Structure 1
């Protein structure tokens, strides 16, 4: 099968800081690195490195051809990435000495997608394929409807979180992943806990505490995170999601897919960077944790 990813593509500018700045504070960075990023690109790379066939649907500006080439190098099908007049999306990421981060995001070309482009891509999809999307592009509801009509498994990573955006796609979803804070915010808006949402599979990530899996009609299952020395949490959630999707694509039981994704995320937080440093399947399987 194929994982179709309607996803953002960004240039990530990562600044190393002694601590995250307070309002009005000016800090000198001790380092600067540029990576391929965007939640969409990160998930595509993670799923491809986990062994799945991934086709990315997205857009870049003329300044972003390097990003498309990088995705191709990582094994992602980039035929459905359009070049548009808007500049490529980018993120300014500050990372402190403990690995915590803050992110300023400029969407750029990620908000220039057209329904026809998505329809052309999904015309090649087969029943049972997965479509994943996040809240960093436009045309999310249109894509979700297409997925339902085509018999695809619709998967949504609810970040950056907006309750209205989640509610708009909720009727079409088979899989939803969000973090603990986002789950609480969604419950406040809808009155529904994660266990009560009308979605077959829901995963709530809990940061260093691991993740909780809800399947309709079943008791929730908790998964503890591996204990590692984190240096950069950027992209860890996207790595986790990409590995879960790859597990689903390859027919793994959800519990097994989450266990493997936990290992990938644990490795990811020990590295500086985003898509360019996501671990591959061999690294994940060979990793030793205390």
Structure 2
């Protein structure tokens, strides 16, 4: 099977700072790292490193060839990444000494993906393939409706959280992944509880505490999965790593609980590394890791 990821591609500029800045405060960074990022690219790399077959649907600016080459090196099918007039998206990431982060994003080319590209790519998909989406691009509602008509399963990571974006795709979503804060925001913004959202599988990540899954077939009763205890140095990209591994596991036919466990271990390794897409662990790393 194949994962089609309608996703962002960013240049990540990560700065190590003593603490996250207060309003009006100027800080000196002790280190700066430039790498590949964006929730879409991170998830594509994670899914590919988890042995999934991933086709990325996205866009970069004319200076973004390096990002496409990097995705290709990590095993992602990049044939459907368009080059557009807008600048490649980028993110400025501040990481403090405890691994917490603050991020500013410029969408750029991520908001200029041609709609005709989307239709052309999904027309080649097979029934049972997975469409994966986040909120850093446009065209999510169009993609979700198209995917459902073609018999694909739709997985939606509702981040960065936008109530209007979520409401536009929930009716067409099979698997919803979001963190605990985003889940609270979604419930508050929509006034909907889990049964009325219409999504049969909901997975809520809880950082160092692990995650919980809610299934329609089990009456929405939460089942919790603990996260391995590790020394976190950078939480950037951990949620994306979780989602990429999760969707790759499901696409490969793993039972949901096994895919969740694998994704939880991958995210735990990710927070021990500084960086984003370039440091996502591969499947052997996750399988061989001795985690508490």
Determine if the alignment matches structure 1 residue 235 to structure 2 residue 237.
Answer: yes
User: Which residue, 253, 277, 286 being the options, matches 1:284?
Assistant: 286
1:217 CA displacement: 2.7
Report if the CA contact (8 A) 1:183-1:194 is conserved.
no
Distance 1:225 1:17 in 2: 26
Partner of 1:285, secondary structure, is helix
Tell whether the 8 Å contact from 1:226 to 1:289 is kept in structure 2 after alignment. yes
- Deviation per CA, 1:182-201, whole angstroms, max 9, x where unpaired? 11111112222345521011
- Name the structure 2 match of 1:118: 118
What's the offset of the Cα at 1:222? 0.4
Q: Does 1:157 align with 2:160?
A: no
How far, CA to CA, are the matches of 1:226 and 1:42 in structure 2?
21
Cα shift readout 1:74-102 (whole Å, capped 9, x = no counterpart): 00000000000000000000000000000
Alignment match, 2:96: 96
Of the candidates 263, 266, 282, which is equivalent to residue 264 of structure 1? Answer: 266
Pairwise mapping of residues 83-232 of structure 1 onto structure 2 (< 5 A)?
Answer: 83-194=83-194, 196-218=196-218, 219-232=221-234
- Give SS of 1:212's match: strand
CA distance in 2, matches of 1:60, 1:51: 25
Q: TM-score, normalised by structure 1?
A: 0.99
The 8 Å contact of residues 210 and 262 in structure 1, kept in 2 or not, is answered as yes
1:195/1:210 CA distance change after superposition, 3 Å: farther
Tell me the SS of whatever aligns to 1:166: helix
Write out per-residue CA displacement over residues 144-182 of structure 1, whole angstroms, 9 at most, x where no aligned residue. Answer: 111111000011000010111100101100010111111
Taking the aligned partners of 1:134 and 1:49, their CA distance within structure 2 comes to: 19
Alpha-carbon separation, structure 1, partners of 2:189 and 2:85: 37
Q: Distance in 1 between matches of 2:87 and 2:280?
A: 25
SS in 1 for 2:4: strand
Which structure 2 segments of 5+ residues have no match? none
Would the aligned equivalents of 1:195 and 1:215 in 2 still touch at CA under 8 Å?
no
User: Can you give the 5+ residue segments of structure 1 that lack an aligned partner in the other structure?
Assistant: none
- Matched position secondary structure for 2:239: helix
| 1:23-102 matches, cutoff 5 A | 23-102=23-102
Task: Normalising by structure 2, report the TM-score.
Answer: 0.98
Residue aligning to 1:17: 17
Cα distance in structure 2, aligned partners of 1:38 and 1:188: 27
Partner of 2:247: 245
Moved over 3 A (4+): none
Shift of 1:113: 1.1
